[in-house]
Amino acid sequence: MRKALTLVVTGLVAAVLGILSLGGLAAATTATEEEAVSQAEELIEKAKQANEPDPYTPAIYGSR
Amino acid sequence: MVRDRLLLYAVAAVVTAMVLAPLAAPGYVLRYDMVFVPRQPLTWDLVAPAQGLPRAVPMDAVVSVLTQFVPGWVVQRIALGGAVLLAAVGAGRLVPTERTGVRLLAAVGYAWTPYLAERLLIGQWGLLVCYAALPWLVRAGLELRAGRAGAVARVLLAAAPAAITPTGGLIAFGVVSLLAPRRGRWRGSTIAVAGVALLNAPWVTAALVTDAGGTSDPAGVAAFAPRGENWAGPLTALAGTGGIWSAQATPASRALPLVPLVTLVLLALAGAGVGLLRRRTSPGVSARLLVLAGAGFLLAALGTVPGTADVLRWAVAQLPGAGLLRDGQKFLAPYALLLVVCVALGAERLVTRVERTNREVAGVVLGGVLLLPVAAMPDLAFGGAGRLWPVSYPADWPVVAGRLAADPGGEVLALPLSGYRAYPWNGGRTVLDPAPRYLPATVLIDDTLRVGDVAVSGENPRLQEIRQLIGAGRPAAETGVRWVLVQQHRADQVDPATLAGLELVYQGVFLALYRNPAAPPSPVMAAPARWAVVVALAVAVVVVIAALFRRYAGGLLRGNLRSEVQTLEDWHA
């Protein structure tokens, strides 16, 4: 009984941590890269349409 | 005891290696506000900026002195590595517990906070030094409260690294002012508070003597207000110790929808741990720690709450020095520390309860809570998933520095007008222009900060004048600067008309240096007011030396060992 409980709790904790890790890693690598590219393209396009300078010029300290 | 201490240091070292792994490669990590150069000259502008606000006083002076003896890349690694390592060890040792696992949990938790990740990714290493010093400072403050011999010196030695930036100095002053005073023990606490005030004297003096004025552009309040990282908004982000204004300095994992739930779990554990903290510390300590953390949280939230944001906007525009509060998230450090300590104690309580029924499960739970911060933000590993990467300065930089050293005198104007640059040799990462720290001269870089489509004006009156002239299409020669440095990382950025009348002195791949024949060399005259900053620096150094003498002159081994044992006993008193 005790071993079964240990296994269940261990499994659950490992599953939660695993999901969080995989989610985080996915966010940090593939998904974000794609999102960043599309977001950047969108912002550059918007700036062009508004006749404003490219927001990805080095002068930008950061964006919110 | 020794084995536990070694284990704590070992875990801290592993965490440090995980976070800063890319720094094993040679070169300089240049990212946003993090600029290190091979040998930073000790110029007046770095010691006491004449026309800018002293945001890096006395940090720049300290780095300038250190890099006279060791290369900048070594200083960078010691600063970053030391900050992460000592943050972890300090938090681990601060927790009032006898369980090693709980100490390790606090160590990993404090070295893996969104706060640390975000301030690292925006390059504010001086603030991270304060973050690392904080648990040691709190511990020393508690020793002082307990009337321990030599505690004043420990307080001052922990506060000194924190005070290398104005924000860190203020946090240190707040901590000591709140923790040290105790009825009947005024002498020690008064000396400690006065000593920490003196450690803050360099930047306060520099702020008083600069021509920049003390007020800032109120547009900065909205631009630098805490930012929501996911669906839960900025206040929840702050509750999880994140919420920096910059999207580029936020780990991508913070946007995950599960993150607020992790914050909720941590807050629940912290809530469970507060009771243990109260029981295991002497009367009044937990309340003071809560006040400290609460004050930090309130300062962080000022810019995001509608009513207080308006007050802050007014204060930044009208009150000298209030600009320090505009990026309030940086004041979250004491909150982060208390959160981690309480989470560790909450986990201990939980584990103790589980242990009554099943010891194996208890170990798993403790391990799970220990790994929770890492699992929730895995992209802090490996320098923020590769965002920190060392590079080498192109050969142009030492050549230009050599030319300026050979013909000293006069200001250098860096063009195109921009404070931050994304060099191709730095992988396109944005970084504060290294010229003022690399070149042995007064270098003028634009101090306007562009946040998205908002331009937050700088405070330097000289640059304001230059911006107007250049903006009106006048040549740089009319600004009175002796040198113009063109950074050619982007083509067609400098109008040839701006360079009219200048003589090309050096043309490299990335840098071009021009001399203005209309401006003769003018030696830097140190105004008497600037000497006041030097005096304040000297006083701060004397405070540190006196504390070192007091701490180590009176029997190194005897004092150390006894104090460690006593500290542990006090926590349980």
Residue B558: predicted pLDDT: 55
8 Å CB contact between B236 and B226: no
Token pair in block for residue B80: 């970053």
Q: What is the Cα–Cα distance from B131 to B143, expressed in whole angstroms?
A: 19
CB-closest option in B245, B375, B422 to A64: B245
Instruction: Check the CA dihedral B223-B47-B63-B410 and report its sign.
Output: positive
B266, B379, B456, B494: best to mutate for the A interface, most A CBs within 10 A: B379
Q: Which residue has the higher pLDDT, A53 or B435?
A: B435
Q: What is the Cα–Cα distance from B350 to B356, expressed in whole angstroms?
A: 10
Does B165 score more than 90 pLDDT? Answer: yes
CB-closest option in A29, A52, A64 to B451: A64
Does B115 score more than 70 pLDDT? Answer: yes
Portion of chain B with pLDDT greater than 70, in percent = 95
Nearest C-alpha of chain A: how many angstroms from B364?
6
Residue B505: predicted pLDDT: 96
Q: What is the mean pLDDT of residues B224-234?
A: 96
- Is A62 at the interface with chain B, CB within 8 A? yes
Are A61 and B249 a contacting pair at CB < 8 A? no
Please list, in sequence order, all residues whose beta carbon lies within 8 angstroms of the beta carbon of residue A48, skipping any fewer than 6 positions away: A54
What secondary structure letter does DSSP report for B327? Answer: T
Does B141 score more than 60 pLDDT? Answer: yes
Residue B555: C-alpha distances to residues B543, B559, B561 (Å): 20, 6, 10
Residue-wise pLDDT for B185-226, tens only, equals: 899 999 999 999 999 999 999 999 998 878 899 999 999 999
Give residue B230's region: left, alpha or beta (phi > 0; psi -120 to 50). beta
Are A17 and B371 a contacting pair at CB < 8 A? yes
Residue A60: predicted pLDDT: 83
Q: Residue B573: pLDDT band by 50, 70, 90 thresholds?
A: very low
Residue type, B478: E
Does A33 score more than 50 pLDDT? Answer: no
Residue A48: predicted pLDDT: 74
CA nearest B180: which of B212, B206, B158? B158
A6, A12, A20: best to mutate for the B interface, most B CBs within 10 A: A20
Q: Which residues of B touch A2 (CB under 8 A)?
A: 358, 360
CA nearest B63: which of B74, B50, B54, B52? B74
CA dihedral B473, B479, B485, B490 (to 10 degrees): -20
CB-closest option in A17, A28, A63 to B247: A63
CB-closest option in A10, A17, A24 to B379: A24
Residue A20: predicted pLDDT: 66
Q: What is the Cα–Cα distance from A58 to B389, expressed in whole angstroms?
A: 18
Q: Which residues of B touch A23 (CB under 8 A)?
A: 253, 256, 258
Portion of chain B with pLDDT greater than 90, in percent = 85
Q: Which residues of B touch A58 (CB under 8 A)?
A: 418, 420-423, 430, 489-490
Q: What is the mean pLDDT of residues B107-115?
A: 98
A48, HSE (Cβ side, Cα atoms, 13 Å)? 6
Residue B569: predicted pLDDT: 53
Are B420 and A59 a contacting pair at CB < 8 A? yes
Please list, in sequence order, all residues whose beta carbon lies within 8 angstroms of the beta carbon of residue B184, skipping any fewer than 6 positions away: none
Residue A43: predicted pLDDT: 66
Residue-wise pLDDT for B433-443, tens only, equals: 999 999 999 99
B450, B494, B510: best to mutate for the A interface, most A CBs within 10 A: B450
Q: Which residues of A touch B386 (CB under 8 A)?
A: none
**Average per-residue pLDDT for chain B:** 93
- DSSP lists the bridge partners of residue B420 as B432
Q: Which residue has the higher pLDDT, B427 or B277?
A: B277
8 Å CB contact between B445 and B416: no
Nearest C-alpha of chain A: how many angstroms from B159?
30
Find the helix or strand (DSSP H, E) in which B407 lies. Answer: none
Please list, in sequence order, all residues whose beta carbon lies within 8 angstroms of the beta carbon of residue B468, skipping any fewer than 6 positions away: none
Asked if the ipTM is above 0.85, the reply is: no
Residue A18: predicted pLDDT: 73
Residue B213: predicted pLDDT: 79
Nearest C-alpha of chain A: how many angstroms from B429?
9
Give residue B39's region: left, alpha or beta (phi > 0; psi -120 to 50). beta
Residue B522: predicted pLDDT: 79
Are A24 and B371 a contacting pair at CB < 8 A? no
Are B365 and A13 a contacting pair at CB < 8 A? yes
Residue type, B302: L
What secondary structure letter does DSSP report for B424? Answer: G
Residue-wise pLDDT for B367-413, tens only, equals: 999 999 999 999 999 999 999 999 999 999 999 999 999 999 899 99
Q: What is the mean pLDDT of residues B296-305?
A: 96
Q: Residue A29: pLDDT band by 50, 70, 90 thresholds?
A: low
Q: What is the Cα–Cα distance from B562 to B564, expressed in whole angstroms?
A: 5
Are A64 and B430 a contacting pair at CB < 8 A? no
Are A20 and B376 a contacting pair at CB < 8 A? yes
Does A17 score more than 80 pLDDT? Answer: no
Residue A31: predicted pLDDT: 46
Nearest CA in chain B to A47: B453
Residue-wise pLDDT for B326-343, tens only, equals: 999 999 999 999 999 999
8 Å CB contact between B173 and B196: yes
Q: What is the Cα–Cα distance from B380 to B374, expressed in whole angstroms?
A: 8
CA nearest B530: which of B60, B47, B40? B47
8 Å CB contact between B343 and B273: yes
Residue B523: predicted pLDDT: 72
Are A13 and B223 a contacting pair at CB < 8 A? no
Q: What is the mean pLDDT of residues B246-255?
A: 96
Does B572 score more than 90 pLDDT? Answer: no
CA nearest B225: which of B306, B287, B171? B306
CB-closest option in B360, B378, B419 to A21: B378
- Is A44 at the interface with chain B, CB within 8 A? no
Residue B409: predicted pLDDT: 87
Are B451 and A9 a contacting pair at CB < 8 A? no
Lowest mean pLDDT among B127-141, B361-375, B462-476, B483-497: B483-497
Does B230 score more than 50 pLDDT? Answer: yes
Q: What is the mean pLDDT of residues B69-77?
A: 97
Q: What is the Cα–Cα distance from B238 to B242, expressed in whole angstroms?
A: 5
Burial of B360 (0-12, 13-18, 19+ CB in 10 A): middle
Residue B172: predicted pLDDT: 98
Nearest C-alpha of chain B: how many angstroms from A58?
4
Q: What is the mean pLDDT of residues B36-64?
A: 95
CB pairs under 8 A between A and B: 118
Does B566 score more than 60 pLDDT? Answer: no
Q: What is the Cα–Cα distance from B508 to B126, expressed in whole angstroms?
A: 33
Are B375 and A20 a contacting pair at CB < 8 A? yes
CB-closest option in B430, B452, B489 to A64: B452
Residue type, B50: A
Q: What is the mean pLDDT of residues B88-106?
A: 97
Q: Which residue has the higher pLDDT, B345 or B554?
A: B345
Q: What is the mean pLDDT of residues B441-464?
A: 93
A1, A8, A57, A64: best to mutate for the B interface, most B CBs within 10 A: A64
Structure-token match 């104005």, residue found: B166
Nearest C-alpha of chain A: how many angstroms from B376?
5
